[in-house]
Amino acid sequence: MKYIINNSMPNQFNVSTFEGDIYKGDQIIRRAACRHYREIDNMHQLKACLRAGEYAWPGGYACFFITNDGVALSFEAVMDNYEEICHDMIHEWKDTGWYIAAMECIANCDESVFCDHTGKEIA
């Protein structure tokens, strides 16, 4: 069963919210293209998380990224520094501070979380 959520895509493409697949009609074009991953191992997973958006479903809780060295980054910070992040992830440079290792939901945190790049609270 497909649930269409993304109206910004061309009319012939639909995104399923259940599995995050992209469809053209009844044919799957790309699997897991729009979903959240807790552990991020590659650029495909990072891009899928960005496509899925900064809020978890269900609940609408804000999500944020965690770098390999434990720094919290908001979606805004990741988008603003996307080139550096892509470069470091593609080359597997894990000690530069831009290598994304995970994504977390604010609902799983005991206290307020602030983006270490922008200084803004992630809420």
pLDDT digits (tens, 9 = 90+) for 6-54: 445 555 666 665 677 778 888 887 777 888 999 999 999 999 999 889 9
Gap between the Cα atoms of 34 and 117, Å rounded: 25
For residues 45 and 51, is the Cβ–Cβ distance under 8 A? no
- Rounded to whole angstroms, the Cα distance separating 24 from 5 reads 14
Domain boundaries, the chain: 1-34, 43-122
The reported pLDDT for the residue numbered 59 is 80
Q: What pLDDT shows up at residue 89?
A: 92
How far apart, in Å, are the Cα atoms of 118 and each of 17, 41, 75, 78, 81? Answer: 30, 24, 10, 10, 11
pLDDT of residue 3: 40
Q: What pLDDT, in 10s, does the model give residues 41-95?
A: 999 999 999 988 999 877 889 999 999 999 999 999 999 999 999 999 999 888 8
| pLDDT for 45 | 93
